[in-house]
Amino acid sequence: MTNALDDIKLNNDQIAWRAAQDIEDGAYVNLGIGFPERVAQYTVKGRTPVFHTENGVLNFGPAPAEGEEDWDLINAGKKAITLKSGAAFFHHADSFAMVRGGHLDVAILGAFQIAQNGDLANWSTGKGGIPAVGGAMDLVQSAKRVAVLTDHVTKHGDPKLVERCTMPLTGVGCVTRIYSSLAVVDIADGHFWLREKVPGISFDDLQAVTGAELKTEGDVLDLIVSGEGAPV
């Protein structure tokens, strides 16, 4: 099954592209460290979201050319960034006032597990090792919309969309949309609602790699990555 999925599933850039299609013009957006950062590369033409990084910058732009880095100008992943016109700096308490106060329109994070009640586990595998939470727990409880980007299954083929998270929680009932490598799934009323799936998989096969019931209402659309600027 896993091998078959590998042929039809979206890669990380394609998942990021799909998430970017839902970011509205003028939205204030926080992108988690790593994979979610790629969403910024696929901003829809004609829309100008404002990106927030929790270390105190609003309206930053892409990474500078190598050798042009200023290490006082970094994002939450400690990567060098640039500024757009109309940027602002502020201290950490003000930055998290923006987060906690509900001023961000969208936060997009990675996930280990997402439960059908919206619970998210993405900070600790619970297996010992060194815990590190960063700003994830703040973001998931407070942004107006919390979405996750994720492979639909783990490297071992286990579902990441589950009935109940077994890993330590990052937040309770916080996720409302999942952009996975196979589907777009909303969370509402304690259920997963399938909105889109990649054309190469049947509903039953998708259900088989999902750890809780996928409900539908109306049409399930094809999840197709195409158009100007779309990754291949």
Partner 1 sequence: MDKSVATLAEAVAPIGDGATVMIGGFGGSGAPIELIHALIDKGPKNLTVINNNAGNGHVGIAAMIEQGLVSKIICSFPRSSDPIAFNEAFKAGTLELEVVPQGTLAERIRAAGAGIPAFYTATSFGTDLAEGKPVETFDGKSYVQERWLKADFALIKGEIGDTMGNMTYRMAARNFNPIMAMAADCTIAQVTRIAEPGAIPPEQVVTPGIFVDRMVEVAEPRQEEILIREGAVYP
Q: Which residues are catalytic?
A: 54
The continuous run of DSSP H or E covering 107 comes out as strand 106-110
CB of 205 to partner 1, least distance (A): 33
Residue type, 209: V
Q: What are phi and psi of 140, to 5 degrees?
A: -70, -25
CB of 68 to partner 1, least distance (A): 14
Which residues contact partner 1 by CB under 8 A? 25-26, 28, 48, 50, 52-59, 70-74, 78, 83-104, 119, 124, 130-138, 141-142, 168-172
CB of 197 to partner 1, least distance (A): 30
Report yes or no: 186 and 147 within 8 Å, Cβ to Cβ.
Answer: no
3-state secondary structure of 214: strand
Which C-beta is closer to partner 1: that of 12 or that of 59? Answer: 59
Quick one: CA torsion of 182, 186, 187, 191, rounded to 10 degrees? -70
CB atoms within 10 A of CB 178: 25
